[in-house]
Amino acid sequence: MIVKDFFSTRFDGVELFRTYSDENLKIRQIETGVIYDEAIDIASASWTYTETDIPIEDLYEDDETSKKAAAWDELTGGNSDE
């Protein structure tokens, strides 16, 4: 289901709202067809969204991504989880 929650208030007093799927699916902006993981819009925006059937992938669920992150950590001495 599409969820729209208050996100924050900008420095100029404009309220921002976050739109996302509570099923961890990507959303499509109906007016443009653009697909997002989530959208942040001003309160007066007239954009509407629909849920897709495309899952949002967790960065570390993908084994190849995990291998790349581990290799980067080894090269840099860092920790990509931070």
- Residue 57 has a pLDDT of 84
Say how far apart CA 18 and CA 68 lie, in whole Å.
Answer: 31
Using the structure block, give the residue that is written with the tokens 């996302």: 20
80 touches 58 (CB < 8 A): no
Q: Is it the case that residue 12 has pLDDT exceeding 90? A: yes
**Contacting residues for 2 by C-beta, under 8 A, at least 6 apart:** 19, 20, 21, 22, 27, 49, 50, 51
| Helix/strand/coil for 66 | helix
- Each residue of 14-71: pLDDT tens digit? 999 999 999 999 999 999 999 999 999 999 999 999 999 999 986 555 566 666 667 7
- What integer pLDDT is reported at residue 75 of this predicted model? 73
CB atoms within 10 A of CB 47: 13
